Amino acid sequence: MKTKYNKRKSKKPFRKTKKLHKLIRKTRTRKQRGGNDKTHRNQIVIPDTDTSIGEGEFLGRTDITSVTIPDSVTSIGNGAFEGCSGLTSINIPNSVTSIGDYAFMECSGLTSIEIPGSVTSIGDFVFARCSGLTSIVIPDSVTSIGYYAFLGCSGLTSIQIPDSVTSIGRGAFEDCSGLTSIVIPDSVTSIGNDVFNNNKQSIEVIIPDSEKSIGKDAFKGCSGLTSIVIPDGVTSIGSGAFYGCSGLTSIVIPDGVTSIGSGAFSHCSLLQSIMIPDSVTSIGFSAFIGCSGLTSIVIPNSVTSIGMSTFLFCTGLTSIVIPDGVTSIGDRAFSGCSGLTSIVIPDSLTSIGDSAFFSCRGLKSIVIPDSVTSIGNGAFEGCSGLTSIVIPDSVTSISQYVFLGCSGLTNIVIPSLVISIGNSAFFSCRGLTSIVIPDSVRRIGYKAFEGCSGLTSINIPSSVTSIGKESFKNCTVLTSIQIPDSVRSIGGGAFQRCSGLESIVIPYRVTSIGDYAFYGCRGLKSIIIPDSVTSIGNNAFAEIPFINAEYVEAPLRFHHLFAGAPPDVVAKPRPASHYVAK
């Protein structure tokens, strides 16, 4: 006897389910089958006159416990038993040749199922989230396993894939957290994206020789995977293929592989060694990010670039040789490699990316070849163990933050063609005692030498036209500095708290002195300010004990700033001609 469907609120649909939305709407107007009383309503017997079970026929029937399908049925429609969480057993007869997508999705009470030999394919999401399923038999007739076919089958411990299968769809065994072993037959030529994603049990996977590629995120999150053999036929390893395989200790990449995808081995924290063959021409960004157990790696000559974040946070890496073919080191390529003590850079290299060696605290010295024309922002920031570095003449600018926090750096030579020193370029280089700035430099950036507490003297060339804000702030042992006549402005806080500074002569072309420019320069005894200066910023000369001043020369309009000085030491400025002759 047929009864009307009981309306139900639809659950949040699973993944790409525009199709399911339509299906749910359809089933609310269809008839459903079941017993004619409360006792048998949960036991479904399909009449032997039926040849098919339609789309969504029993969708969401949580009360159903068993279904008997007669030999007359040849197809089971899409979503036919989806959400039948009370279903514990079902017998699919040999007459059935097709099982639709989502057919048994979320049948969490189902423990085992046998697919008949008449079925040739397992559709998308067919057994997805059948968390109670512990065993399944796939017949030799099946040639393909669809997208996410067994997704979330957490009770499944092993599965035998027959030799007839040629393709395994995306995410087919994703989140099968109980799966411990699987053999992929030789007939399969590619492992799709996300196939074994997030299987956390100790799992043994045998990849056949027929395999040509390992798909995106194929083994992502398989933390129980300890070893794997990649067959010789594989030519590419997809993005995130082994991402988060934290139990993987070693891997051999075969000679046929030409590319390693982005994030392919990211966060394989126990990976100690890896051999990259000469066939590899490209290593994707973040390929080995977080491989903290990796102590050494050989990059073949076939590689021409090291991508962004490739070895980011490989804290166990102690040395690396970059091959002659490499022309660029990407942003953050070796950032956070705190154990790295030496690196060899080839003559082929032309650029070093932003933060390329950020916080490589163990790096003591580095020679940059003449081929390099650009060094990125923060390239060596935080390399506190770095004591010496040679910058080639080919470099024309010192980027911002490039040596920030390199507290072990004692001296450095800036090449003769450099035209600018970037913001915070040498910020907090406490060990730096002297530096030579070439005549080519026109600009000294914001905070360029701030906190260089060991810097005793510095020569600013006549090519410089402006001194940036806080450029020499907190250079506490700087005793003297000569500002060239070319300078037009002195930025705010430029020499703030340079407590060792004893005298200063402002050039006659300077028109403005910024806020806090000489604030807290408590050792300052001699100051000369020319008449060209039209503005002096707030607190420019505050917190200076002028009672100890020996000579102050400034325009009358600024004499109030030096009110604490003895009257006989404060004078009006001399004419500009005096400074020119000088």
Q: Is the pLDDT reported for residue 347 higher than 80?
A: yes
pLDDT band for position 207 (50/70/90)? confident
Segment 511-539 mean pLDDT: 95
CB-based contacts of 57, cutoff 8 Å, min separation 6:
27, 30, 32, 33, 77, 80, 81
Segment 391-395 mean pLDDT: 93
**pLDDT reported for residue 34:** 52
Torsional class of 493: left (φ above 0), alpha (ψ -120 to 50), beta (otherwise): left
pLDDT in tens, 222-239: 888 888 888 888 999 999
DSSP state of 477: T
Q: Is the pLDDT reported for residue 97 higher than 80?
A: yes
Q: Is the pLDDT reported for residue 91 higher than 70?
A: yes
Give percent of the chain with pLDDT exceeding 70.
91
**pLDDT reported for residue 578:** 55
| CA dist., res. 70 & res. 111, Å (int) | 21
**pLDDT reported for residue 252:** 84
At the top level of CATH, the class of 465-582 is alpha beta
Segment 90-113 mean pLDDT: 94
**pLDDT reported for residue 12:** 37
pLDDT in tens, 126-138: 999 999 999 888 9
Task: Report whether 20 contacts 14 (CB < 8 A).
Answer: yes
Segment 210-226 mean pLDDT: 86
pLDDT band for position 35 (50/70/90)? very low
pLDDT band for position 579 (50/70/90)? low
pLDDT band for position 37 (50/70/90)? very low
**Domain boundaries defined on the chain:** 315-439, 465-582
Q: Is the pLDDT reported for residue 261 higher than 80?
A: yes
Domains 315-439 and 465-582 share a fold: yes
pLDDT band for position 117 (50/70/90)? very high
pLDDT in tens, 449-503: 999 999 988 889 999 998 999 999 999 999 888 899 999 999 999 999 999 999 9
pTM of the model: 0.78
**pLDDT reported for residue 59:** 95
Task: Report whether 284 contacts 305 (CB < 8 A).
Answer: no
Segment 316-329 mean pLDDT: 91
pLDDT in tens, 149-176: 999 999 988 888 999 999 888 999 998 8
| CA dist., res. 261 & res. 270, Å (int) | 20
Segment 269-288 mean pLDDT: 91
| CA dist., res. 260 & res. 240, Å (int) | 9
| CA dist., res. 46 & res. 67, Å (int) | 8
| CA dist., res. 268 & res. 264, Å (int) | 9
Task: Report whether 399 contacts 379 (CB < 8 A).
Answer: yes
β-strand 420-421 against 443-444: which pairing, if any? parallel
Mean pLDDT of the chain: 88
Nearest to 266 by CA among 246, 239, 243: 243
pLDDT band for position 315 (50/70/90)? very high
pLDDT band for position 40 (50/70/90)? low
CB-based contacts of 404, cutoff 8 Å, min separation 6:
378, 381, 382, 424, 425, 426, 427, 428, 429
Give percent of the chain with pLDDT exceeding 90.
66
Residue 169 corresponds to which tokens in the numbers above?
Answer: 């769809």
Between 3.30.479.30, 3.80.10.10, 3.40.190.80, 3.30.365.10, what CATH number should domain 315-439 receive?
A: 3.80.10.10
pLDDT band for position 181 (50/70/90)? confident
β-strand 2-4 against 31-33: which pairing, if any? antiparallel
Check residues 363 and 188 and name the one with the higher pLDDT: 363
| CA dist., res. 55 & res. 80, Å (int) | 5
Task: Report whether 385 contacts 365 (CB < 8 A).
Answer: no
CB-based contacts of 255, cutoff 8 Å, min separation 6:
232, 277, 278, 279
